[in-house]
Structure 1
Amino acid sequence: MRSDRILRSLIGSANRHRVFAFLFTSLISSAALAQSPGDPALGERLYRTGLGADGRPVTAITQGDVRIAGNQLTCVSCHRPSGMGTSEGGTYVPPITANHLFAAREANRALRNERFKEMYKEVQTERFYQDVRKARLRPAYTPETLVRALREGLDPAGRALNPAMPRYELSDADAANIVAYLATLSKGDDPGVEPDTVHFATIVSDGIDAARADAFVKTIDAYAEWFNRDVRDDLARPGFSPYYRDEFIDSYREWRVHVWRLAGPPEGWREQLERYYAEQPVFAVLSGLVAGDFTPVADFCDAKHVPCLFPVTELPRTAHAEGGYTLYFSRGLELEADALAAWLSAQKASPAHVTVIHSADAYGRRPATRLAAALAARRPGLAIEAHEVSDAAAMRTAIADAAGRDDDTLVIWPGHLAAAATGALAESPPAAWRVLLPSTALDAARALPATVRDKVLVTYPYDKPERIRPDAYRARAWVRSRRLPIVKWDDQREAYFALRMTDWAMAHLLSDYHRDYLIEIIEHEVENSLDPGPQPQMALGPGQRFGSKGAFIMRLDPDAPSGLVAVSDWIVP
């Protein structure tokens, strides 16, 4: 009776039944949540897509009165796949991993590390810095208080969350599912991480010149040795703290790089990678030098959720690449095909008939197929005549046949037959007034006689060779100071970029060794790198996987310092 009188005095009899109904409903919901363990797989779907257990989007209210569907503003869009959060429109988005949610937020090193990373990533708004500086100390979430936060926007201490955080109208099943998933999200270190070591791999396939592969691997090994020496020096002197490094000493790990060598055709690579991984899981794959279609490697990395960071390949997996675990420099030969189609279509004297000769391997077939599709989309009705050749003799015959015709444009994707193609062009100068080759044939094309060279253009998905980047000289000095062989500089420069980018991103992980988080940091910061390798600019957004998006069309000019002169602007098809 005393509690009844208190209720009457506080809220009046008219609201009493409403309060009891609310309390009863809350108790029922809590009981239902306690009885249902939830399905983490359905919770992950809700987190990533906004779809409830019934397959329909959940609904929510944001900013106090804006009704949205769950698939319009998903959890993953702000809190990211790792659950580590980000900044969105000047708003601080906190981490919601299992370790963060289900532990009390106290004024300790973990909270300091979390906020330290956000304070010094980039210039932010004053509102952001004010938000980050708020301690928000609270008890640990329980399943019940977490559901209340999702539905009502209140933390365990009863404080309101940011109004930008949607208040979701969740069924009990959806509530149980999302709680079950969040209890697993980025919980503990990912595979490949040990108390004092992080394991990495680099991948080298058959079909790569031995000296080239050796120089590539030595570059990666030298960087790991250099990194580890600094780690050991800091660990040996924990009291010596320039830049406060010993404040983060618990996050220090040495790198151990394993070289995974792939033998035989690409069809057998997946099995070999599985064996390597079973022997020693790795946290990430550093670069890689692969001859042939990269698809089996990308499929493996997606299946294991292993980041594969900037491999050297002209044949990346372009299908279903977005949101995957492989980050590429560019789309390789497919990008060159798209850029060529855009350039040809934009010419005042655009082609009336295009002859395409391509090798039967993936280096010829894939860009030829891509070019035909891109030209058909841009120039419906354009006559395209394609010839596939399987060996050097067939390549020479096809070029000799094309040389006698009066087609205006000849495109050759020679694949492994570049020497045969350029030799045939020298023997049978074509009547076509422009002959186009990919960047993979550039070395062979430089030897062409002047009678043919003046007609030849090359697609070039790199920066202009004459552009000077000071950090590129530092990269070369770093390689030379370690007496490393330089066989193909672009390979080593791209590997060096991948290593520096990984080094920088790993430093920002601190003790949060989550693979998704590593990718998210690289997505966020890759465009700020001092040296983007041979590319003019690298940029990635959430889920994007191709850093460089364009190409030049170059002509051969032996009088130019690099032997190349651009005849186009940077083409982003």
Structure 2
Amino acid sequence: MRRLSMKDALRAAALSVVLVAAPVLAGAGQAGDAELGRTLYWEGIGADGQPVTGVTQGDVQVTGAQFSCVNCHRPSGFGTSEGGNYVPPIIGSVLFQTKTPNRNRIFKDLYQEVQPPGFWARVRQPRMRPAYDDVLLARALRDGFDAGGHELDPIMPRYDLSAADVANLSAYLKTLSDEIDPGVTARDIHFATIIGPDADPAEADAMLRTMELFFEWLNKDTEGDTHNPTFSPNYRSNFISAYRYWQLHVWRLDGPPETWRAQLEAKYAEQPVFATISGLVEGPWDEIGTFCDDNRLPCIFPNAELPTPGEGRYGYSVYFNRGLVLEAEALGLYLGDQQAPPSRIVQIHGTGPQGTRPAQAFEETMAMVFGDTAIETVTYEDEAGLRVALAKHGDAETLVIWPQDAAEAVAVLADATPAAARIFLPSATQTSAVKAFSPDMIARTRLVWPYDAPDSYHPRKFRIRGWMHSRRLDVTHPRIQLQTYYALTMAEFGLMHVINDFYRDYMIEIIEHEAENELNPGTHPELALGPGQRFASKGAFIAELAPDKRVGYRVVSEWIVP
């Protein structure tokens, strides 16, 4: 047998190292399954169907369910910044290319957020790195070293991943934010607002006029900047490619809710939009919400009294609050917090969704608070049915009413004058009740009030009203118009941070991030969202009618958060 030379021996040793290491570097050359990669990214579930495991901060054991990729890198893959931590983009077009500084992409982190000095130092580092491949991606995920060999932040978990896991995740990352979403052209970005068939015409007109003036103002600003491309060489002129003219499309629906989906699909096919903003719908948002989710279409802060039930993790409709269901739950907690529990509670509700949904939520909350305390629930079909119900049960100690038609119910109550010691009504009855009720009825009536107290102070509210008055906009429906302005502002701020990465998921993530900033128009005490949250205001007050006050009500409880 021939004796190996020193060179041959070294060559053989090197080959053995490669062969031993091959399983560790697996993923290289292996075709991945993007759908399984999506499951890993969103749920932390590996190719074997089990949660992957890992370590963060050096010694803290975690599972993929606790630390899935989406929690930090977000649905868009563009990452985020929170608490002084910077999570970079990991979309395929960034990850699998050589890293070069991109001032536009980190603009919001550099200049538009308050961050500690350490954060600034890290984001500003002009660190270059080669492009990732599956081998380098495996090393980053398992050992915590980027493609250039630099150690990743300790907060980034070091995962125990199989070869198939790495290949699947790599395949999925290459699909993340890989195409600009519909509704955007080189010049324009298209938006819609949705108006239901039962929406109050005066409210709809007030909302639309607010939107039209906002679009007009924003487009004039865009025209001025884009026609003077050298107006600011070190700032806004760098972002000329991000400017778009906003185009508004009004989608009016007709007929029953079960026909809305087909109408929306037809309108969307005729003119795709990037998002819908504001909107006005009486009753459930369900059909529209499903349409938005299925088309991955952001529906930003509609004026809806019955949002789609449930928090809806990463759904595409973002609401002010949970509407009538929130009011019912807050009322249940309020009654449960009284020193003397009610001896007899009668709940009367209409048979439509404006009646049945809050009634069910109230029953469930009261069962949680009072246990075996019985609640008499009575339904009615129409005005005559409500009169009959009040005649039979109007003497209850506590009377709770969830009407299908607020104005109709107030008129019946004013005429019937039930003898109940306490009468509780939803917020929608306030305007008509303060005018129609007798002093005795006013003294016994309370409202559930999911809006701000009348004496609260919001500096931005006065700026917005100044903006409206300077454009001769009649503020006939303040809450609707201020909420509409807020929705428009969130869309504007979302696109300001997105720059020219026109991806819908990314825009929604920016809105989640920005909602708690000082943009509140004064309609709610606080507005805030977090990852996956879709309801910005979480509670309600109890209020009494106050004809002596300009606003017609007075808050009489603390803020109640169910």
Q: Which amino acid aligns with 2:495?
A: M
Q: Which amino acid aligns with 2:261?
A: R
1:21 shift after superposition = 4.4
Cα distance in 2 between the residues matched to 1:428 and 1:291: 26
Cα distance in 1 between the residues matched to 2:391 and 2:16: 88
| Residue number in structure 1 paired with 2:420 | 432
1:91-120 Cα shifts (integer Å, max 9, x gaps): 22111011211221124xxx1122322122
1:190-218 Cα shifts (integer Å, max 9, x gaps): 22221221111111110112232122112
| Residue number in structure 2 paired with 1:458 | 447
Contact 1:362–1:415 (CA under 8 A) maintained in structure 2 = yes
| Residue number in structure 2 paired with 1:79 | 73
1:531 shift after superposition = 2.6
| Alignment of structure 1 residues 174-323 onto 2, 5 Å | 174-241=165-232, 244-323=235-314
Which region of structure 1 is more displaced relative to structure 2, 358-367 or 147-156? 147-156
1:85 shift after superposition = 1.1
Paired residue for 2:18, among 10, 20, 23?
A: 23
| Residue number in structure 2 paired with 1:12 | none
Contact 1:396–1:421 (CA under 8 A) maintained in structure 2 = no
Change (3 A) 1:173 1:206: same
Cα distance in 1 between the residues matched to 2:233 and 2:100: 27
Contact 1:219–1:496 (CA under 8 A) maintained in structure 2 = yes
Paired residue for 2:131, among 140, 147, 154?
A: 140
Q: Which amino acid aligns with 2:470?
A: S
Q: Which amino acid aligns with 1:508?
A: H
| Residue number in structure 1 paired with 2:318 | 327
The alignment covers a number of residue pairs equal to: 557
1:560 shift after superposition = 2.4
Cα distance in 2 between the residues matched to 1:210 and 1:571: 32
Cα distance in 1 between the residues matched to 2:234 and 2:179: 28
Contact 2:450–2:541 (CA under 8 A) maintained in structure 1 = yes
Change (3 A) 1:169 1:273: same
Is 1:59 the equivalent of 2:48?
no
Q: Which amino acid aligns with 1:426?
A: A
Q: Which amino acid aligns with 1:443?
A: T
| Residue number in structure 2 paired with 1:11 | none
1:543 shift after superposition = 1.0
Q: Which amino acid aligns with 1:372?
A: E
Paired residue for 1:394, among 385, 404, 407?
A: 385
Cα distance in 1 between the residues matched to 2:481 and 2:214: 11
Change (3 A) 1:529 1:55: same
1:44 shift after superposition = 0.8
| Residue number in structure 1 paired with 2:532 | 543
Change (3 A) 1:425 1:55: same
1:57-91 Cα shifts (integer Å, max 9, x gaps): 11223334444322221111111111111224422
1:430 shift after superposition = 2.2
How large is the RMSD of aligned CA atoms in angstroms? 2.0
Q: Which amino acid aligns with 2:88?
A: P
Contact 2:458–2:522 (CA under 8 A) maintained in structure 1 = no
Cα distance in 1 between the residues matched to 2:170 and 2:295: 24
1:427 shift after superposition = 2.8
Contact 2:188–2:246 (CA under 8 A) maintained in structure 1 = yes
| Alignment of structure 1 residues 99-118 onto 2, 5 Å | 99-107=93-101, 111-118=102-109
Change (3 A) 1:554 1:402: same
1:389 shift after superposition = 0.8
Q: Which amino acid aligns with 1:456?
A: T
| Residue number in structure 1 paired with 2:433 | 445
Q: Which amino acid aligns with 2:492?
A: D
Contact 1:358–1:414 (CA under 8 A) maintained in structure 2 = yes
| Residue number in structure 2 paired with 1:10 | none
Cα distance in 2 between the residues matched to 1:423 and 1:178: 61
Cα distance in 1 between the residues matched to 2:390 and 2:287: 33
Contact 1:308–1:325 (CA under 8 A) maintained in structure 2 = yes
Contact 2:349–2:402 (CA under 8 A) maintained in structure 1 = yes
Contact 2:51–2:65 (CA under 8 A) maintained in structure 1 = yes
Contact 2:482–2:521 (CA under 8 A) maintained in structure 1 = no
1:54 shift after superposition = 1.6
| TM-score normalised by structure 1 residue count | 0.93
Q: Which amino acid aligns with 2:95?
A: L
1:26 shift after superposition = 4.3
Contact 2:460–2:518 (CA under 8 A) maintained in structure 1 = no
Q: Which amino acid aligns with 1:334?
A: V
1:561 shift after superposition = 3.0
| Residue number in structure 2 paired with 1:421 | 409
Cα distance in 1 between the residues matched to 2:71 and 2:79: 9
Cα distance in 2 between the residues matched to 1:491 and 1:311: 10
Q: Which amino acid aligns with 1:61?
A: V
| TM-score normalised by structure 2 residue count | 0.94
Q: Which amino acid aligns with 1:429?
A: T
Cα distance in 1 between the residues matched to 2:242 and 2:231: 16
Contact 1:47–1:76 (CA under 8 A) maintained in structure 2 = yes
Contact 1:140–1:156 (CA under 8 A) maintained in structure 2 = yes
SS of structure 2 residue aligned to 1:217: helix
Change (3 A) 1:568 1:32: closer
Paired residue for 1:43, among 37, 40, 65?
A: 37
| Alignment of structure 1 residues 442-521 onto 2, 5 Å | 442-446=430-434, 447-521=436-510
Cα distance in 2 between the residues matched to 1:335 and 1:375: 13
SS of structure 2 residue aligned to 1:105: coil
Contact 1:78–1:88 (CA under 8 A) maintained in structure 2 = no
Change (3 A) 1:287 1:336: same
Which region of structure 1 is more displaced relative to structure 2, 461-470 or 332-341? 461-470
1:42-62 Cα shifts (integer Å, max 9, x gaps): 101101111011210112233
1:453-493 Cα shifts (integer Å, max 9, x gaps): 11011111101123343322322232233233443221111
1:428-466 Cα shifts (integer Å, max 9, x gaps): 322221001101111221120112111011111101123
Contact 2:40–2:46 (CA under 8 A) maintained in structure 1 = yes
SS of structure 1 residue aligned to 2:283: coil
| Residue number in structure 1 paired with 2:551 | 562
| Residue number in structure 2 paired with 1:170 | 161
Cα distance in 2 between the residues matched to 1:458 and 1:132: 50
Change (3 A) 1:49 1:339: same
Contact 1:469–1:531 (CA under 8 A) maintained in structure 2 = yes
Cα distance in 2 between the residues matched to 1:567 and 1:30: 65
| Residue number in structure 2 paired with 1:351 | 342
SS of structure 1 residue aligned to 2:280: coil
1:161-207 Cα shifts (integer Å, max 9, x gaps): 22332222222221111000001111132222212211111111101
Change (3 A) 1:472 1:256: same
> Structure 2 regions of 5+ residues with no counterpart?
none
Cα distance in 1 between the residues matched to 2:215 and 2:241: 19
> As a proportion of its length, which structure holds more helix?
1
Cα distance in 2 between the residues matched to 1:320 and 1:21: 54
Cα distance in 2 between the residues matched to 1:87 and 1:402: 56
> Structure 1 regions of 5+ residues with no counterpart?
8-15
